[in-house]
Structure formats: C-alpha cells, structure tokens
C-alpha cells in the first residue's frame, strides 16, 4: 500500500472515499492494524485507559507515549504497510503559553519514534507553532477527554446551535493553523456532517455519525479486548464490536490452566527434546 500522506488523505476526501483510522499501542496490535491496510494508526493517549487501566486519559507521560510509538512503528514496518503513524500528545505537554515547549515535545515523536504527525486537542495557536516547526498536526474537537475535569464527564458535545457553531469555529481555526485533518469526537451526526462540508481538510469521526470523511475506533473497544465483566460498561455505545478477542484470550488461558493441572499439557506432543546418545553417556 502506497504511503499515506496529508495529500493522499485530502484526495480521498475530494473523491468521496472514506478514510480508516484505528488506534494501536504496541508491536502486535500495530502489525494487525497495518496489515489490514488501515490508512492511519493512532497511538492514542487512550492507552492510559485501555492499556494502563486508568480512569481517564490524563495520566500518561510523554516518555510512555514515545515508548508505545516506537513499538507501533516496528509493527507497521513488519507489515510493510504505508499506514500513517500519528502520536497523541499527552495532557500537560503542549498547553503552556510558551509554545516552544509543545514544539520541543512534538519533535520527540518524530525524532525518537518515527511518527509522521502528532495529534492534539483544540489549541490552534499551538498547532500552528508545531506546523511551522515542520511537524504535521491532526486536530481534535468535540469531546476532548484530556479536559474531562472541565467538561465534567464523557458526554456528547455541540448539542445546541451555539455550541455547534463554536465547534465549527474551532475546526476552522485548526484548519487555518495548517492542520491536515481533524478528529470529531462525540458530536451529533448533522453537526459533524456540516463541519465536514464546510472544511476543506478531512474529518475523522468517532461517535459522530456517517457524514465525516472517515471513522476511527479504539482497538480494544472495537475488538472486545477486555472481556472482564466489570469492564463492559466502559465500551462506549457508539462503538461497534467487530470481534470478541477477550473471550478467545480467556478461553485459551482457562484451557492452559486446566490442561497443566490435569497433566494433558505438555504430553509427548509438546516435549520435543530428547537426549543425544553422547549426552546420555556423560549424564550417566
């Protein structure tokens, strides 16, 4: 698959072809996503929730994000895919008035992990600074989980005419700043469609209906990674489950435990090593 770029994504939007994006956090997940030919692989700060088990996206460090991006890069290379790799800038690494800090942190994603772009929530001025520094930026408006303590909860945004207008204005500011694409998270479908039609750059929706230029889902949510009964409540209602990976994992582990305890495993079939004649002699 040819290398996905800001230009190729824009051409998809103009031709009415949908863009696909999925998160990945490590080597095997990235290899699978890349092999599926997904256009964009996002190392989301959702890693804090789905990989590290925290309740919000707020507690993941820049070093951790870089670490995850490095392993995802290896997965993309294994699959020999042209997928674009985007690193999510974590909470507390780009919000300061001193946008030099944001630029310096953005460089780390490119130089230490080989990312093609970074993503950040709102903040057109910061996006512009990073873009001027030579790093491509994907914007993100609507529900912006890093602001969870301000928003008050994981809930839809842009549900009044005034709020919808504000979302459009913010998206336009990000476009003017030079962002190549924008994520629209948890906004009404008609609002997302209107923003998509107004913007020239492609929009990627999550919980934003079918009128966006593409769709993104979180790997663990879409594949049913965590089948623990106490976790089901966290899979958002807009997320379709395309697999039940967690059930397969649990079944495999349950079966391993029972086979070891009953003596079925390893058995002769999985006991491949035999002593050579010479070794037998020295052993005696």
Which residues of this protein are in contact with ligand KIV, per CB under 6 A?
23, 42, 44-46, 88, 183, 206, 216, 218
Kindly tell me which of 26 and 88 has the beta carbon lying closer to Na ion: 88
Report the half-sphere exposure of 261 (CA within 13 A, side-chain side).
6
Who's near 129: CB < 8 A, 6+ residues apart? 99, 100, 102, 103
Q: Is 29 left (phi over 0), alpha (psi -120 to 50) or beta?
A: alpha
Identified catalytic residue from 121, 132, 185, 281: 185
Q: Which of Na ion, ligand KIV, none has residue 206 at its interface (CB below 5 to 8 Å by kind)? A: ligand KIV
Residue window 20-59: x/- pattern of binding to Na ion, with contact defined by CB under 5 A: ------------------------xx--------------
How many Å apart are CA 129 and CA 123, to the nearest integer?
10
Q: How near is the Cβ of 219 to ligand KIV at its closest, in Å? A: 9
Tell me, yes or no, if 185 is annotated catalytic: yes
How many Å apart are CA 99 and CA 183, to the nearest integer?
22
Kindly tell me which of 57 and 99 has the beta carbon lying closer to ligand KIV: 57
Given 39, 88, 170, 221, the residue binding Na ion (CB under 5 A)? 88
Kindly tell me which of 39 and 121 has the beta carbon lying closer to Na ion: 121
Provide Rg for the chain, Cα atoms. Answer: 22
Structure tokens belonging to residue 131: 């873009």
Q: Name the residues that contact Na ion, by CB under 5 A.
A: 44-45, 88
> What residues act catalytically?
185
């Amino acid at each position: 698959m040819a290398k996905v770029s800001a230009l190729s994504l824009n051409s998809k939007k103009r031709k009415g072809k949908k863009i696909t994006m999925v998160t990945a956090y490590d080597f095997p997940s990235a290899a699978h996503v890349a092999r599926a030919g997904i256009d964009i692989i996002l190392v989301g700060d959702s890693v804090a929730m789905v990989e590290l088990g925290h309740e919000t996206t707020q507690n993941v460090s820049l070093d951790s994000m870089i670490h995850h991006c490095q392993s995802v890069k290896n997965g993309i290379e294994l699959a020999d895919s042209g997928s674009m790799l985007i690193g999510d800038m974590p909470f507390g690494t780009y919000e300061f008035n001193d946008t030099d800090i944001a630029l310096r942190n953005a460089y780390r994603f490119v130089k230490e992990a080989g990312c093609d772009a970074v993503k950040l929530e709102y903040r057109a001025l910061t996006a512009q600074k990073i873009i001027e520094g030579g790093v491509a930026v994907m914007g993100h408006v609507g529900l912006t989980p890093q602001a969870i303590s301000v928003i008050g909860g994981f809930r839809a945004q842009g549900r009044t005419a005034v709020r919808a207008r504000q979302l459009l204005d913010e998206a336009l500011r990000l476009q003017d700043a030079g962002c190549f694409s924008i994520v629209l998270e948890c906004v009404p479908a008609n609002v997302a469609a209107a923003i998509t039609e107004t913007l020239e750059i492609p929009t990627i929706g999550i919980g934003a209906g079918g009128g966006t230029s593409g769709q993104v889902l979180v790997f663990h949510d879409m594949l049913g990674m965590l089948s623990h009964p106490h976790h089901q409540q966290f899979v958002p209602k807009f997320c379709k489950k395309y697999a039940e990976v967690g059930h397969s994992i649990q079944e495999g582990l349950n079966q391993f435990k029972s086979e070891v305890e009953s003596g079925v495993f390893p058995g002769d079939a999985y006991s491949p090593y035999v002593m050579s004649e010479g070794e037998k002699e020295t052993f005696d």
